[in-house]
Amino acid sequence: MKLSNMTAFLSLLIFILLVAIEARNLVGVERVELPNPASMVTAYWQKMLPHSPMPTAILELLNPPTDVNQGVHGNGYDQVYGNGYDGGYINGYSHSYGNGYSNGYFHKANLHFLEDALKPGSIITPYITGIATRAPFLRRDIADSIPMSTKNFADILAMFSPISLVMADGIQSALDTCEHHRPIKGEERACATSIESVVEFAMSVLGTRDLRAFSPDVPLEGIMLGNMYKVVAVRTVAGLRGDTVTCHTMRFPFAVFYCHAINPTRVYAVVLESEEDGSGSGSGTPEKMEALAVCHLDTSRFDPKTPLFVEHNLRPGDASVCHFVSRDSVIWAPVAAVITHGDEQVSIAE
């Protein structure tokens, strides 16, 4: 580890320990238990979204592990998102749209690809991050009572103690992201702290209550080793209207989603089959999986230094830019824009 990185890590460690000590001494801050209102979430979903099966990203939060406050670590989330979404993913979008280009998210050479790569027979090296958390949903009244502000960082640590350093770092980053993120022109975004606020944001942005939600069938730990996969099949999931909302979980003691829309987009379900022989590494690379790819159709505000543009000698606006989403992501689309299995496929060349 470089000396500068080690110094930064030690500074962060000391800061979190001091805040943790302060949090223990707080008076009047009630500890929040983590109920798992699975039946309430299910009932709400069936009432509000009768035309949408519940996606994997939501289902897996209804039966969370018991140690969610320890955080998910070592799954690529830190490598791409820095110390949280604000470290790379979210401001990475802003950077790609012309506000700079220094965050880790846009430095991954195989993270983005051109839309015409999604053709059966193509060979790609997908970069799909691991999940950020498996934290449970809170009831809306409880979630709404928790102040999502950096000035309340110590209070939140006390509410959910004991907290690991990994989780504490995630909380700080999530709060900073929700409080200070600067959206790009035309971007709509929100930090949603309950299932109700997630659904309401998607409905508001997309202008309809008739929605479908999708999540990919990819490994929890993601795919980040540079393994080669063949594109076996491609199906257009949403592409008629070009409007979608994507929600990603953030590392937090309870389910918090960063939801945003940078439209127009097109979404594909992509069946990938490993080209590796599988005889040696024992890395657990899946032989076949169905990923979800989001393609941004208007790249006119992307930074010209985006690696994909440089590699292909392109300028912003010349081509659509695509990326895969993690297992804990939810993509929302109007039912009217969803292309079912029986519909004629939309050509990728369109």
Tell me if 21 sits within 8 A of 168, measured CB to CB. no
Tell me if 72 sits within 8 A of 176, measured CB to CB. no
- In angstroms, the CA 276 to CA 255 distance is 35
Predicted local distance difference test score (pLDDT) of residue 108: 63
177 or 23, which is more confident: 177
List 191's β-bridge partners, or say none. 258
88 or 329, which is more confident: 329
What's the pTM? 0.79
- Going by pLDDT thresholds of 50, 70 and 90, the confidence category of residue 66 is low
Predicted local distance difference test score (pLDDT) of residue 183: 65
For residues 213-223, give the mean pLDDT: 92
Helix (H, G, I), strand (E, B), or coil: what is residue 246?
strand
Please write the tens of the pLDDT for every residue from 148-174. 999 999 999 999 888 889 999 999 999
280: DSSP letter = S
Predicted local distance difference test score (pLDDT) of residue 244: 95
pLDDT above 70: percentage of residues in the chain: 70
What percent helix, strand, coil does the chain show, rounded to 5?
35, 20, 45
Please write the tens of the pLDDT for every residue from 73-131. 433 333 333 333 333 333 333 333 332 223 344 446 678 999 999 999 999 999 998 89
Predicted local distance difference test score (pLDDT) of residue 41: 94
Q: Which parts of 85-194 fold into alpha helices (H)?
A: 89-94, 140-144, 153-159, 165-180
The residue among 216, 176, 192, 185 whose CA lies nearest residue 144 is: 192
